[in-house]
């Protein structure tokens, strides 16, 4: 009897946490990636009742379960067109993710690392300096990384300031690219009335995708952004076009959240505008 082929459709493995409330991580990546015609297969790194931006939360670290989970996927002979990493819950998970790359990727697999570590110049409360430092070990395997400015500075060992010039962003992106990824997008860079997603492609140069600034900062924007980038990568969307689509959709989702008076902790009301999400627009 011929074994079933489970690899007939584009698939992305999403190595990230599951937060039951607050619209972040797997809870946003799964519907967004699915909307773009790609199957999303979550590998949990942790389970949260709600994300860490709330005053309290329940956190269950998933480190001890991840490798057994992966072995079951191996039995199914799964392969992945893309791998998207997000929130990691322990230093040991860095080694597990590296093993995942070895087990499930080949030369065609697009690896997107979203180094979820912090914002506004500070690490998140669940992160240690050691874990942030270990995150650099993923960069040699990444095709694309999507740090915000805080995370880019931590990865590069550069002092954080909130007013980087485009020349400084170029040097920062070049430094990160030398650590592995061919493509870098530094997100959430504020410049007067604009927010910039600064794109760098090795041997192709830079491009600043500008969107009008919205004063409200919401949880989960980076997760929505990186999910679109990962789906675009496996569908071979040109990088700048991909970043533009992601930036526009995040902006539309923020505006929808404002119209609906959604609390900022509750993330992006992307459901209200997901019918607009397409690489054809």
218 contacts 188 by C-beta, under 8 angstroms:
no
**Lowest-pLDDT range of 1-10, 83-92, 266-275:** 1-10
Q: Write down the H helix ranges in 18-79.
A: 26-35, 63-75
Helices 166-178, 149-156: axis angle to 10 degrees equals: 50
Question: Residue 269 forms beta bridges with which residues?
Answer: none
**The domain spanning residue 49 has which CATH number?**
3.40.1190.20
Q: Are 257 and 250 in contact (CB under 8 A)?
A: no
| CA–CA gap between residue 153 and residue 258 (Å, rounded) | 30
Distance CA 84, CA 54 (A): 25
CA nearest neighbour of 91 among 45, 33, 139, 47: 45
Q: Establish if 276 belongs to a structural domain.
A: no
State the Cα torsion 121-127-133-139 to the nearest 10°. Answer: -90
- Domain membership of residue 86 (yes or no) is yes
| Structural domain includes residue 279 | no
Q: Which domain covers residue 51, as residue numbers?
A: 11-266
Structurally, how many domains does the chain consist of? 1
**Within a domain: 21:** yes
Q: What is the pLDDT of residue 190?
A: 86
Mean pLDDT for 209-217 is 83
Question: Is 281 among the domain residues?
Answer: no
Is residue 274 assigned to a domain? no
Condensed to tens digits (0 to 9), the pLDDT of residues 129-153 reads 888 889 999 999 999 999 999 999 9
pLDDT at 281: 55
Task: Give the pTM.
Answer: 0.95
Residue 165 lies in a domain: yes
CA atoms lying within 13 Å on the CB side of residue 208:
17
- Specify if 273 maps to a domain: no
pLDDT band at residue 226 using 50, 70 and 90 as cut-offs = very high
Residue 118's pLDDT is 84
């Amino acid at each position: 009897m011929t074994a079933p082929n489970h690899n007939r459709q584009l698939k992305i493995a999403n190595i990230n946490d599951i937060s039951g409330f607050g619209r972040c991580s797997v809870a946003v990546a799964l519907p967004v990636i699915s909307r773009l015609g790609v199957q999303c297969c979550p590998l949990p790194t942790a389970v949260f009742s709600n994300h860490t931006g709330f005053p309290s939360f329940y956190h269950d670290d998933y480190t001890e379960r991840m490798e057994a989970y992966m072995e079951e996927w191996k039995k199914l002979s799964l392969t992945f067109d893309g791998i998207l990493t997000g929130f990691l819950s322990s230093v040991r998970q860095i080694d597990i993710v590296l093993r995942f790359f070895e087990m499930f990727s080949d030369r065609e697999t697009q690896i997107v690392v979203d180094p979820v570590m912090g914002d506004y110049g500070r690490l998140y409360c669940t992160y240690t300096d050691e874990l942030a430092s270990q995150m650099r070990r993923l960069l040699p395997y990444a095709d694309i990384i999507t740090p915000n400015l805080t995370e880019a500075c931590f990865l590069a060992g550069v002092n954080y300031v909130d007013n980087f010039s485009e020349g400084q962003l170029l040097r920062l992106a070049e430094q990160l690219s030398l650590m592995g990824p061919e493509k870098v997008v530094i997100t959430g860079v504020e410049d007067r009335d604009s927010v910039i997603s600064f794109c760098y492609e090795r041997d192709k140069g830079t491009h600043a995708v500008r969107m009008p600034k919205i004063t409200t900062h919401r949880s989960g924007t980076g997760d929505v952004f990186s999910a679109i980038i990962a789906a675009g990568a496996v569908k071979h969307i040109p990088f700048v076009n991909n970043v533009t689509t992601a930036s526009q959709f995040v902006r539309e989702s923020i505006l929808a959240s404002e119209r609906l008076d959604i609390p900022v902790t509750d993330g992006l009301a992307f459901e209200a505008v997901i019918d607009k999400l397409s690489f054809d627009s």
